[in-house]
Amino acid sequence: MSGREKVLVAMSGGVDSSVALHLLVEHGYDAVGVTMKLWDSRDENGNLVNDSYCCSLEAVNNAKLVCEAAGVPHYTLDFRGDFREKVVNNFTAEYLRGRTPNPCIRCNSDVRWSALLEYADDLGIEWIATGHYARIDRSQPDRPTIQKGLDSHKDQSYVLWRVKQEELSRTLFPLGNLTKPEVRKIAREANLTTADVAESQEICFVPNDNYRTFIENESAAENGLNGSGKFVTPEGKTVAEHRGISHYTVGQRRGLGISGAEPVYVQVIEPDSGDITLAPRRSMFFSGCSLNDLNWHIDETDLDIVNELIVLIRYNHEGVSCKIEWNTDGTAEVKFDEAQFAVAAGQSAVFYDGDRLLGGGIITEGFLNEETTIG
Amino acid sequence: MIYFDYSATTPVDRRVSELMTEINEDVFGNPSSVHLFGQKARGYVERARQQICTSVACDPTEIIFNGSGSEANNIILHTLLYGEKRHVVLSAIEHPSIYNAVKELAPLGISHTIVDVDDTGRVDPDEVSAAIRDDTGLVSIMMVNNELGTVEPMAEIANICKEQKIAFHSDGVQALGKIPVDVKNLGVTSMSFAAHKLYGPKGVGVLYLAGGEELHPLIAGGSQENGRRAGTENVAGISGFGLAAELAAVEVLGEMERLSHLRNKFISNLQENRPKVMINGHSSETVPGVVSLSIPGISAEKLVMKFDMDGFALSAGAACASGSPKPSRVLKAIGLSDELNRQTIRISFGRFTTAEEVDSLLNALLKHIPIAEAETGT
């Protein structure tokens, strides 16, 4: 066997992971491609239930083609059981509790990284790699940290905060210094069969991006729960019946079926009573939030020496300067320097110092701003 | 890279590929054409038919060339739709082209009863007998199981079917070339074969159907294969199958002896050094080249991946199109727990397997399978 460093590359069948593999091979790594089968796009009778490229036979075969052309082995790993249990069931349960989950984050931390490392260990492979747009700073070899991808439009560091630091030490992100157009260009120049595969849809397992129908089908199969209840005003006055809390997310304006002089938004979802408070935009600002389930890539004491602590409260959020206060039970509270629109429980608050990802937590509750005069 | 997956498919024998290349280059005629080009192509097809007849001991009119073993199985099931008796008796370890195809036909009125197998993968003929109903039109039991190598009690099942005047179909894909197949002696009504399991090309199947038996084409159209399978013949593939069958018939007895020896030596060496390793299947009623191994504590999926990277091609369960291992239905049927199911690999030897190759595989396995604590003390 060769003395080259080995790397296990997670291949979705898309252009990003294909280029990741291509670059690693070009750089002399001994690569092995794997595609994790997480979800079925067809039911037991072979009928299409989710017209998604992700995890489809076409995607797997494209990954195989890319690997075959690069002269590296490819294997398909069946993780449907784990994904269903740890990601999909959690997704449904969270919505039924009136929260807004981010399944990609959970998939990375609870399924993908552990699975890839397990296979890498058993196959005697040092490294794992994915096609995420993020970088890893290894200037402190025992404390690697994630840096935002160089392409600010594509940066995917946000979905990686729950990955454990010790897992990062064996992770490679070959696309971190590239922009999406550069990746496409590399793919075309290398004649990769996936060069023009379309961007994947929002949530890989939800057909047509319609998560509400998905939750309805899932929860009907479970126990018929839909959390029906009332729309109320901030003063507690009932406005109308709603379709069940899983149909709504904090900050939502469309599809409420409410007409009035002033547009209203979902401000708070109360899973116990089923009440959903609707409020005008000026009342939609939050001064902070509470967090649990925290994960840090730096020592908590190092938080004091960061230049500027910025938190992102959802994917593609521009970020806001903030302060953290710790509770004795390991949870935390965040105070934004400037009130933020629509803070949804279940979403991830991810902390940065410049491009460096410091850590994150799951939002348990947003604190409505006392002086709701903005906007 | 050493190949130990002859049950999945076999390399094409050089003699076969040379013949096929010659045909591809020189014989392009349509066998149905009147002119010389057609005549020449027809000659190749009919010569192949005779070669296959000689190898399985039947009449040329009883051979229907088609696209695969799966197609041959489907043709037989499909024909039931045209008869009164629409119930099928099959075993729990049939190939998907019987097992799933029967289910596919359920909405069209085909019913079925699945007969269990014992822990060696053998069907109990009495259970076949008990499963037969007034409306049973077909008993379908494979001759050799693809995952275990177990040979089914063909004569007993054939007798039962003969007594009850029920058609007996047998999937012979894993038998032809590995053990002698004489369709008249076996007493089957029909049998399916595939060229690629005996050093022939992929994409060519044969259905043997005893003379006088009714058949409805699954693929209707032209009058090829006596109107029983439409479509211009795959002349090179059919010729390749013919020669492959002829070669296999000549070599089968010698190969059986050679492969049995390799298999027995491999198993005894492995079990001597790693007593926890279990061999699945039947000790004597088996084809000589197939070894199904359960290795407690070892993931079959990862073993197959690791060995692939190290230069040994093996399989976990049967080869499957998606390339993603699911627990095997066959291993479940012989009573393996889900856990052991996922710890089971299949090694299959064939014409080009050498004693040195088997030794290197044995050494690699011994290196991979740790010596259990209880074993080191003795």
CA atoms within 13 A on the CB side of A361: 18
| Residue A236: CATH number of its domain | 2.30.30.280
Q: Are A273 and A293 members of one domain? A: no
Q: Is the pLDDT of residue A129 over 80?
A: yes
- Report the run of H or E that residue A105 belongs to, with start and end: helix A103-107
Identify the pLDDT of residue A280: 93
Contact A9, A129 (CB under 8 A): yes
Residue A289 annotated to the active site: no
β-sheet bridge partners, residue B176: B179
Identify the pLDDT of residue A375: 42
- CB within 8 Å: A60 and B305: no
Range of the domain at A231: 226-282
- CB within 8 Å: B322 and A37: yes
The model's pLDDT over A220-273, given as tens digits with 9 standing for 90+, comes to 755 445 678 899 999 989 999 998 888 899 999 988 888 888 899 999 999 888
Residue B58 annotated to the active site: no
Q: Are A179 and A66 members of one domain? A: yes
Assessment of whether the complete model's pTM goes beyond 0.80: yes
- CB within 8 Å: B322 and A122: no
Identify the pLDDT of residue B32: 97
% residues pLDDT > 90 (chain A): 70
β-sheet bridge partners, residue B294: B278, B344
In whole angstroms, give the CA distance from residue B297 to residue B295.
Answer: 6
Q: For residue A187, what are the contacts with CB-CB under 8 A and spacing of at least 6?
A: A15, A18, A19, A22, A194, A195, A196
- Distances A320 to A334, A346, B255, B283 between C-alpha atoms, Å: 11, 18, 75, 71
- Report the run of H or E that residue A81 belongs to, with start and end: helix A80-83
In whole angstroms, give the CA distance from residue B64 to residue B229.
Answer: 7
The model's pLDDT over A88-106, given as tens digits with 9 standing for 90+, comes to 999 999 999 999 999 999 9
Identify the pLDDT of residue A374: 47
Residue B126, in any domain of the structure: yes
Identify the pLDDT of residue A1: 46
Instruction: Out of A37, A57, A122, name the one closest to residue B302 (CB).
Output: A122
Instruction: Out of B309, B322, B326, name the one closest to residue A32 (CB).
Output: B309
| Residue B239: CATH number of its domain | 3.40.640.10
Q: Is A74 helix (H, G, I), strand (E, B) or coil?
A: strand
Considering its fold, how many domains does chain A have in total?
A: 3
Residue A76, in any domain of the structure: yes
- The DSSP result for A287-307, as a single string, is EEEEEEEEEESS-GGGGGG-S
A41 pLDDT tier (thresholds 50, 70, 90)? low
- CB within 8 Å: B324 and A123: no
Q: Are B362 and B219 members of one domain? A: no
- Distances B9 to A138, A267, A336, A370, B326 between C-alpha atoms, Å: 47, 62, 64, 72, 20
- CB within 8 Å: B323 and A75: yes
Give B308's contacts in chain A (Cβ within 8 Å): 73, 75
| Residue A317: CATH number of its domain | 2.40.30.10
Q: Are A55 and A203 members of one domain? A: yes
Q: Are A256 and A292 members of one domain? A: no
Range of the domain at B308: 2-8+253-366
| Residue B337: CATH number of its domain | 3.90.1150.10
In whole angstroms, give the CA distance from residue B155 to residue B173.
Answer: 18
- CB within 8 Å: A76 and B322: yes
| Residue A88: CATH number of its domain | 3.40.50.620
- Report the run of H or E that residue B240 belongs to, with start and end: helix B235-273
Mean pLDDT score, A340-365: 96
Q: Are A343 and A194 members of one domain? A: no
Q: What are the structure tokens assigned to A156, written together?
A: 């995917």
Least CA distance to A56: which residue of chain B? B322
% residues pLDDT > 70 (chain A): 93
Q: Are A293 and A275 members of one domain? A: no
Residue A342, in any domain of the structure: yes
Q: Encode burial over A214-246: b for 16+ CB neighbours within 10 A, e otherwise.
A: bbbebbeeeeebbbebbbbeeeeeebeebbbbb
> Is A44 part of the contact surface with chain B (CB cutoff 8 Å)?
no
CA atoms within 13 A on the CB side of A263: 10
- CB within 8 Å: A122 and B325: no
> Is A158 part of the contact surface with chain B (CB cutoff 8 Å)?
no
- CB within 8 Å: B309 and A123: yes
Q: What are the structure tokens assigned to A232, written together?
A: 């109320």
Residue B51, in any domain of the structure: yes
A53 pLDDT tier (thresholds 50, 70, 90)? confident
Considering its fold, how many domains does chain B have in total?
A: 2
Chain A: closest CA distance from residue B322 (Å): 7
Portion 87-146 of A in contact with B at CB < 8 A = 119, 122-124
Identify the pLDDT of residue B181: 98
Chain B: closest CA distance from residue A128 (Å): 16
Report the candidate in A28, A12, A186 with the shortest Cα–Cα distance to residue A104.
A12
Q: Are A99 and A111 members of one domain? A: yes
Q: Name the least confident of A132-141, A208-217, A249-258.
A: A208-217
- CB within 8 Å: A75 and B305: yes
Average pLDDT, chain A: 90
Give A38's contacts in chain B (Cβ within 8 Å): none
Q: Are A236 and A313 members of one domain? A: no
Q: Are A161 and A262 members of one domain? A: no
Residue B172, in any domain of the structure: yes
Contact B151, B143 (CB under 8 A): yes
Catalytic member of A104, A107, A289, A322: A107
A324 pLDDT tier (thresholds 50, 70, 90)? very high
Q: Are A232 and A300 members of one domain? A: no
Q: What are the structure tokens assigned to B78, written together?
A: 């499909």
E strands within B215-306?
278-280, 290-294
Q: Are A257 and A343 members of one domain? A: no
Q: Provide the ipTM.
A: 0.86
> Is A32 part of the contact surface with chain B (CB cutoff 8 Å)?
yes
In whole angstroms, give the CA distance from residue B13 to residue B3.
Answer: 14
Q: Are B104 and B222 members of one domain? A: yes
> Is A10 part of the contact surface with chain B (CB cutoff 8 Å)?
no
Give B302's contacts in chain A (Cβ within 8 Å): 119, 122-123
Q: One digit per residue, pLDDT tens: chain B, 378 residues?
A: 999 999 999 999 999 999 999 999 999 999 999 999 999 999 999 999 999 999 999 999 999 999 999 999 999 999 999 999 999 999 999 999 999 999 999 999 999 999 999 999 999 999 999 999 999 999 999 999 999 999 999 999 999 999 999 999 999 999 999 999 999 999 999 999 999 999 999 999 999 999 989 999 999 999 999 999 999 999 999 999 999 999 999 999 999 999 999 999 999 999 999 999 999 999 999 999 999 999 999 999 999 999 999 999 999 965 554 455 578 999 999 999 999 999 999 999 999 999 999 999 999 999 999 987 555 444
Mutation pick from B305, B310, B368, B369 vs chain A, by most beta carbons of A within 10 Å, is B305
- The DSSP result for A331-342, as a single string, is -EEEEEEEEEE-
Give A37's contacts in chain B (Cβ within 8 Å): 322, 324
Least CA distance to A121: which residue of chain B? B302
Q: Are B92 and B239 members of one domain? A: yes
Chain B: closest CA distance from residue A200 (Å): 21
Q: Are A306 and A243 members of one domain? A: no
